[in-house]
């Protein structure tokens, strides 16, 4: 049941949630097929050592990674 709820999730707003210890956050969020908006502002995120293309999701319209310690994202 939880998977079905997550599969239909379109908007995720986690701004100001400390995700410093989150593992594979970038890969997991960009691989979610139905996200339209993903807000991760001020989540204490740092560069992920394993590269992923921001274009790997075709549904994502809004991506907010502001106020994090990200020096670069592959495009």
Residue with tokens 């994502």: 60
pLDDT score, position 55: 56
Question: In percent, how much of the chain has pLDDT > 70?
Answer: 68
pLDDT of res. 1: 43
48-59: average pLDDT: 62
pLDDT of residue 18: 93
From CA 45, how far away is CA 65, in angstroms rounded? 8
Mean predicted lDDT score pLDDT of the chain: 76
pLDDT of residue 60: 82
Mean pLDDT of 17-40: 81
Provide the β-strand partners of residue 63.
Answer: 38
């Amino acid at each position: 049941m939880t998977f079905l709820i997550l599969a239909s999730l379109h908007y995720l707003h986690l701004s100001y949630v400390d995700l410093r210890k989150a593992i594979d956050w970038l890969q997991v969020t960009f691989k979610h097929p139905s996200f339209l908006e993903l807000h991760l502002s001020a989540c204490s995120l740092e560069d992920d050592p394993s590269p992923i293309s921001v274009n790997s999701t075709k549904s994502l319209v809004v991506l907010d990674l502001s106020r994090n310690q990200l020096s670069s994202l592959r495009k």
